[in-house]
């Protein structure tokens, strides 16, 4: 009996949570290519980072994928799949140059990892191949999405409430705007370089 | 030739050689093909880094897994499976997916010191005598070059100066095919034997054709031309050979330039007359360049000690630094030897016979290069020796050999990835130079028109180079030349106090 009651309570709680979660969707215009949209820091709330490590591969003199979005606190693995020596460094995170870091050199097939604790975009470079670049965009919340080819995005399972939503694009100025989420909510951005 | 011309012409030639003889190349075609920056292979183009050396050694390919880096797929000249049908079909190869063409242009501005016309001014006037202005804008080279790989480890290179000094064609630089690692057919170790065929720069320790300096290294341009001069220690050598000359022939080579041993042996034409011959009964394809039966021989051996503490890193193409790959700390030492036979033919006035003077000559040299991080100290010493046969009625007698020696030491420091400072000293001590300039000085122990002391040519050349972009470079060079004195050609009295003719040169070049 007690067990059935417990199940019922959990089910009701889950349903109520789902019922109060919405989506943020819209379009990022003014730029071409992939953009990132994320819900900015929510006061008083922290989110545990995922146990899995996203992988960024250096292959064919490219960072693959070019843009990786992670939750703050996530550990990212960097793999060298090329037969040439590579390096990974970033001069700043979110424009903060004190967060510069150089991961060094490692041979083909090996990985090095780094835990990104600070929100913001970290531009990735290789100091022997200046044409190589990539980005780790560190979002302060797990509510983020990347745009498709047409600039459309959709962030799902965002609890109802008022937030600041930020759009980021490579080489463009970030744009933030307040958004009140209640069910399906629209937020469009127009970025400029 | 009037004395003042004899004096001034070499000076003008030196200036022209200084400014115009250096052909340097970075290869935009490779940038396009691999989608990578010039700095993948170059420190300060065209100076190669360790990876660039490995790329060149491999036949203009990435040393491993080349196909995975190519952004523009090559065009297949036959399906790869056709290899199985050979010899009943043409062995398939590839050509680059993009025309592997690069272009280069450079331009200069030169400022010459106040004493630039001292020689001309001190001698009886001649309106046709060269005049050296204080400043001058100069067009340099407009060059086209093509390089790449045809598959099956067959590399190619062709470069040609379309225009030199704003004038007409400067001619072919290098044009060759290189069959890389043919030693595999003989079960030799990898890269132990390659074959290069065509016209090419000799495998010198430091390539004059791909020099990053505004002015060339003097010792590589040193010819040995000693005029018949009864008034003094005459010579009868007329050997225009200089190590920087492009040579026609074949070259066997092996090893690597980025670690361990490297060798090359080349057999090339000797052309003493400067003419190209043809014969009605044996029509050549385009003319006979050789004017001698003998093929000159060039050999070089070097060994590079990579000095990284980490054994794994030591054997890699680039060293693994704490903050990223970099060039190795290394010591490279090497030696070169060239043996040839200069041939001159004379008509004997008494008998009317043709007299042939075969004057063997050799060049022997040693070199080193020490690299620590972004600091590179390197140098070259060369001794040259030409047998001297003086013409007397109906025969020759042995004269004083025409010799020279000298070299250079250069220190390059890459202060920033886009900024390199250079300190360099060049010196050449040539007996032929002294004799050629005898008209201006009565005593060769004092010196000739170029220098009164010891060396016939020497200079100290500080410089700095900036990469505006990866493919645009501006360079500055200040050439501090030795003290000189102008002597009265008749009395031998000094007409001037010792002076220097220093020059400042600025260069701007781009490749695309």
Report the DSSP pairing between strands A74-80 and A55-59: parallel
Report the distance separating Cα B90 and Cα B113, nearest Å: 62
Are A127 and B51 within 8 A, CB to CB? no
Place A31 in a pLDDT band, splitting at 50, 70 and 90.
very high
CB atoms near residue B364 (< 10 Å): 15
* Residue B489: per-residue pLDDT: 61
Q: Which of A88-97, A138-147, B326-335, B488-497 has the lowest mean pLDDT?
A: B488-497
A52/A26 same-domain check = no
Q: What are A161's strand-pairing partners?
A: A181
* Residue A4: per-residue pLDDT: 62
In a domain, A161, yes or no: yes
Q: Which of B111-120, B273-282, B288-297, B433-442 has the lowest mean pLDDT?
A: B433-442
User: Which of B451, B361, B357 shows the shortest CA–CA distance to B395?
Assistant: B357
User: Which of A25, A22, A55 shows the shortest CA–CA distance to A145?
Assistant: A25
Fold of the CATH domain B3-511: Porin (2.40.160)
A105/A160 same-domain check = no
Interval A73-104: pLDDT, tens: 999 999 999 999 899 999 999 999 999 999 99
User: Which of B340, B378, B379, B374 shows the shortest CA–CA distance to B360?
Assistant: B340
Contact residues, chain A, for B324 at CB < 8 Å: 85, 87, 89, 102, 104-105, 126-128
Residue of A nearest to B31 (CA): A131
Place A32 in a pLDDT band, splitting at 50, 70 and 90.
very high
Q: Which of B260-264, B349-353, B457-461 has the lowest mean pLDDT?
A: B349-353
Place B270 in a pLDDT band, splitting at 50, 70 and 90.
very high
In this predicted structure, the answer to whether residue A52 has a pLDDT above a threshold of 50 is yes
In a domain, A55, yes or no: yes
Task: Please state the domain extents for chain B.
Answer: 3-511
Contact residues, chain B, for A63 at CB < 8 Å: none
Contact residues, chain A, for B470 at CB < 8 Å: 130
In this predicted structure, the answer to whether residue B127 has a pLDDT above a threshold of 50 is yes
Cα distance between the two ends of chain A: 63
CB atoms near residue B79 (< 10 Å): 11
> Residues in chain B whose beta carbon is closer than 8 A to a beta carbon of chain A?
34-37, 39-40, 51, 62-65, 68-69, 71, 312, 316-318, 320-326, 470
The pLDDT > 90 percentage for chain A reads 82
* Residue A7: per-residue pLDDT: 57
Q: Which CATH number fits the domain that encloses residue A179? A: 2.60.40.1120
DSSP B112: E
pTM to 2 decimal places:
0.86
The pLDDT > 70 percentage for chain A reads 90
Domain membership of residue A73 as a residue range: 48-140
* Segment A143-157 mean pLDDT: 96
In this predicted structure, the answer to whether residue A143 has a pLDDT above a threshold of 60 is yes
In this predicted structure, the answer to whether residue A15 has a pLDDT above a threshold of 60 is no
Helix (H) or strand (E) holding B210: none
Interval B471-483: pLDDT, tens: 999 999 999 987 7
* Residue A157: per-residue pLDDT: 93
Contact residues, chain A, for B374 at CB < 8 Å: none
Are A83 and B62 within 8 A, CB to CB? yes
* Segment B171-176 mean pLDDT: 93
What is the ipTM metric for this complex?
0.77
In this predicted structure, the answer to whether residue A13 has a pLDDT above a threshold of 70 is no
In this predicted structure, the answer to whether residue B231 has a pLDDT above a threshold of 60 is no
Report the distance separating Cα B161 and Cα A133, nearest Å: 36
- Identify each DSSP E strand in B165-242 by its residue range: 171-179, 194-201, 224-226, 237-239
Q: Which of A36-50, A62-76, B35-49, B284-298 has the lowest mean pLDDT?
A: B284-298
Residue of B nearest to A130 (CA): B37
In a domain, A26, yes or no: yes
Are B37 and A82 within 8 A, CB to CB? no
A24/A71 same-domain check = no
In DSSP notation, B136-170 reads EEEEEEEEEEEEEE-STTEEEEEEEEEEETTSS--
Q: Which two tokens stand for residue B3?
A: 């004395």
A57/A88 same-domain check = yes
Q: What are A112's strand-pairing partners?
A: A78
Number of domains in chain A: 2
Interval B48-68: pLDDT, tens: 999 999 999 999 999 988 888
In DSSP notation, B230-247 reads TTSS---EEE---TTSEE
* Residue A10: per-residue pLDDT: 52
Number of alpha carbons in the 13 Å side-chain half-sphere of residue A29: 5
Contact residues, chain B, for A124 at CB < 8 Å: none
A174/A107 same-domain check = no
Residue B323 has its nearest CB partner, among A61, A87, A106, at: A87
In a domain, A1, yes or no: no
Q: Which CATH number fits the domain that encloses residue A110? A: 2.60.40.420
* Residue B446: per-residue pLDDT: 45
- Which residues does B416 contact at the CB level (< 8 Å), separation at least 6? none
* Residue B122: per-residue pLDDT: 61
Q: Which two tokens stand for residue A149?
A: 């080819």
Last residue of a domain, one of A123, A140, A157: A140
In a domain, A3, yes or no: no
Report the distance separating Cα B253 and Cα B255, nearest Å: 7
Q: Are the CB atoms for B327 and B318 separated by under 8 Å?
A: yes
Residue-averaged pLDDT of chain B: 86
Residue A104 has its nearest CB partner, among B318, B323, B470, at: B323
* Segment A1-13 mean pLDDT: 53
A111/A136 same-domain check = yes
* Segment B186-198 mean pLDDT: 96
Are B324 and A105 within 8 A, CB to CB? yes
Q: Min CA distance, A91 vs chain B (Å)?
A: 13
Place A188 in a pLDDT band, splitting at 50, 70 and 90.
very high
In a domain, A7, yes or no: no
A89/A105 same-domain check = yes
Report the distance separating Cα B154 and Cα B178, nearest Å: 6
> Residues in chain A whose beta carbon is closer than 8 A to a beta carbon of chain B?
59-61, 82-87, 89, 102, 104-107, 126-131
Are A87 and B40 within 8 A, CB to CB? no
Contact residues, chain B, for A112 at CB < 8 Å: none
* Residue A17: per-residue pLDDT: 45
Q: Which of A14-18, B31-35, B60-64, B320-324 has the lowest mean pLDDT?
A: A14-18
* Residue B268: per-residue pLDDT: 97
Question: Of residues B491 and B394, which shows the higher confidence score?
Answer: B394
């Amino acid at each position: 009996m007690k067990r059935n009651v417990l199940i019922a309570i959990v089910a009701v709680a889950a349903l109520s949570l789902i019922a109060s979660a919405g989506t943020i969707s819209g379009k990022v215009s003014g730029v071409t290519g992939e953009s990132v949209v994320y819900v900015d820091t929510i006061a008083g709330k922290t989110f545990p980072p995922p146990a899995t490590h996203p992988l960024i591969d250096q292959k064919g003199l490219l960072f693959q994928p070019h843009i990786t979005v992670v939750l703050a606190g996530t550990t990212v693995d960097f793999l060298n799949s090329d037969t040439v020596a590579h390096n990974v460094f970033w001069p700043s995170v979110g424009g903060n140059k004190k967060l510069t870091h150089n991961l060094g050199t490692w041979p083909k097939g090996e990985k090095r990892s780094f835990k990104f604790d600070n929100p913001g975009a970290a531009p990735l470079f290789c100091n022997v191949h200046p044409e190589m670049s990539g980005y780790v965009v560190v979002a302060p919340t797990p509510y983020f999405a990347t745009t498709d080819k047409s600039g459309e995005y959709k962030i799902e399972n965002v609890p109802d409430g008022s937030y600041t939503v930020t759009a980021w694009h490579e080489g463009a100025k970030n744009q933030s705007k307040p958004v009140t989420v209640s069910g399906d909510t629209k937020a469009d951005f127009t970025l400029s370089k | 030739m009037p004395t003042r011309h004899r004096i001034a012409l070499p000076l003008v030639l030196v200036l022209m050689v200084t400014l115009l003889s250096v052909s340097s190349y970075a290869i935009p075609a490779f940038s396009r093909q691999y989608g990578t920056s010039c700095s993948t292979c170059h420190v300060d183009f065209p100076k190669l880094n360790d990876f660039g050396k490995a790329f060149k050694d491999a036949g203009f390919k990435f040393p491993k897994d080349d196909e995975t880096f190519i952004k523009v797929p090559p065009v297949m000249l036959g399906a790869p499976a056709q290899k199985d049908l050979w010899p009943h079909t043409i062995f398939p190869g590839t050509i680059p997916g993009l025309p592997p063409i690069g272009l280069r242009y450079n331009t200069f501005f030169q400022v010459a010191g106040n004493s630039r016309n001292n020689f001309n001014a001190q001698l009886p006037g001649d309106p046709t005598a060269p005049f050296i202005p204080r400043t001058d804008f100069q067009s340099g080279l407009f060059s086209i070059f093509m390089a790449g790989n045809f598959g099956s480890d067959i590399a190619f290179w062709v470069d040609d100066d379309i225009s030199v000094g704003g004038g007409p064609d400067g001619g072919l630089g290098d044009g060759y095919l290189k069959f890389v690692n043919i030693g595999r057919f003989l079960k030799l170790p990898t890269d132990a034997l390659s074959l290069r065929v065509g016209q090419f720069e000799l495998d010198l320790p430091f390539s004059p054709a791909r020099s990053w300096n505004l002015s060339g290294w003097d010792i590589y341009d040193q010819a040995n031309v000693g005029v018949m001069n009864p008034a003094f220690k005459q010579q009868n050598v007329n050997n225009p050979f200089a190590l920087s000359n492009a040579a026609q022939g074949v070259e066997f080579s092996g090893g690597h330039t980025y670690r361990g041993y490297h060798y090359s042996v080349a057999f090339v034409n000797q052309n003493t007359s400067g003419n190209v011959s043809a014969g009605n009964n044996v029509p050549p394809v385009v003319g006979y360049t050789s004017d001698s039966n003998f093929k000159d021989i060039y050999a070089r051996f070097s060994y590079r000690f990579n000095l990284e503490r980490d054994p794994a890193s030591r054997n890699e193409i680039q060293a693994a630094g704490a903050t990223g790959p970099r060039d190795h700390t290394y010591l490279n030492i090497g030696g070169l030897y060239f043996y040839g036979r200069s041939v001159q033919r004379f008509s004997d006035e008494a008998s009317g016979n043709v007299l042939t003077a075969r004057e063997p000559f050799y060049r022997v040299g040693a070199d080193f290069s020490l690299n620590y991080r972004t600091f590179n100290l390197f140098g070259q010493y060369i001794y040259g020796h030409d047998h001297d046969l003086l013409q007397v009625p109906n025969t020759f007698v042995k004269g004083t050999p025409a010799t020279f020696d000298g070299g250079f030491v250069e220190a390059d420091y890459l202060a920033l990835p886009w900024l390199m400072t250079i300190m360099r000293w060049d010196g050449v001590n040539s007996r032929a130079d002294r004799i050629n300039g005898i008209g201006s000085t009565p005593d060769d122990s004092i010196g000739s028109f170029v220098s009164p002391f010891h060396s016939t040519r020497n200079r100290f050349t500080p410089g700095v180079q900036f990469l505006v972009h990866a493919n645009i470079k501006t360079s500055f060079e200040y050439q501090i030349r030795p003290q000189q004195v102008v002597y009265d050609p008749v009395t031998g009295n000094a007409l001037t106090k010792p002076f220097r003719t220093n020059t400042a040169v600025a260069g701007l070049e781009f490749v695309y």
